[in-house]
């Protein structure tokens, strides 16, 4: 993967993590919270999305994801299903309305990536490597760890 793409991926992770920690419950679009919108986006990406997989991808607790899923179910953006032979595990998929929301979210992310990629064009390979190293380290910080 090209350095610019790696930086854009790392920057997106930093931004989403920060937004979810600070503003996860703020209403951002059509009565939805940022966490709900990102949960919808992850359901598209994950095969057989469930609470555990979503919690891992979104760096949130399973309890928080369960609450988000309940709200998305009640708003009819997602529906639950079970796999044949496995009545224990509940999985999620998007409804038609949820799919439209995910598409809109993807378009917004793509536009943001293009503008950030254009900004990065003015940097040298060495500068891009330093930026990537910093963003990678930033993404590995534990946001719940107490600062001394």
Residue 100: inside a domain = yes
Q: What is the model's pLDDT at position 23?
A: 44
Model confidence band, residue 60 (pLDDT cutoffs 50, 70, 90): confident
Model confidence band, residue 4 (pLDDT cutoffs 50, 70, 90): confident
pLDDT tens readout for residues 92-135: 999 999 999 999 989 988 898 899 899 899 999 999 999 999 88
pLDDT tens readout for residues 25-56: 445 567 888 889 989 999 999 999 999 999 99
Question: Over 50: is that where the pLDDT of 22 sits?
Answer: no
Distance CA 119, CA 103 (A): 25
Total domain count, the chain: 1
Contact in structure between 39 and 69 (CB atoms under 8 Å): yes
Distance CA 55, CA 65 (A): 6
| Torsion of Cα atoms, 70 then 75 then 79 then 80, to 10° | 10
Residue 147: inside a domain = no
Q: What is the model's pLDDT at position 101?
A: 92
Domain of residue 84, CATH code: 1.10.10.10
Residue 148: inside a domain = no
Residue 54: inside a domain = yes
Residue 33: inside a domain = yes
Instruction: Tell me the residue range of the domain where 106 lies.
Output: 3-137
Residue 66: inside a domain = yes
Residue 110: inside a domain = yes
The pTM of this model reads: 0.72
Residue 96: inside a domain = yes
Distance CA 102, CA 39 (A): 9
Q: What distance lies between CA 104 and its chain's CA centroid?
A: 14
């Amino acid at each position: 993967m090209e350095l610019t793409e790696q930086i854009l991926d790392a920057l997106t992770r930093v931004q989403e993590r920060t937004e979810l920690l600070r503003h996860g419950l703020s209403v951002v679009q059509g009565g939805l919270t940022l966490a709900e919108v990102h949960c919808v986006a992850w359901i598209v990406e994950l095969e057989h999305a469930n609470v555990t997989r979503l919690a891992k991808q979104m760096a949130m607790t399973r309890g928080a994801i369960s609450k988000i899923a309940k709200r998305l179910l009640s708003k009819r953006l997602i529906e639950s299903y079970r796999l044949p032979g496995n009545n224990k595990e509940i999985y999620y998929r998007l409804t038609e309305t949820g799919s439209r929301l995910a598409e809109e979210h993807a378009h917004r992310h793509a536009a943001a990536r293009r503008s950030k990629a254009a900004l990065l064009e003015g940097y040298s390979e060495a500068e891009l490597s330093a930026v990537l190293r910093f963003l990678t380290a930033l993404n590995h910080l534990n946001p719940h760890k107490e600062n001394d």
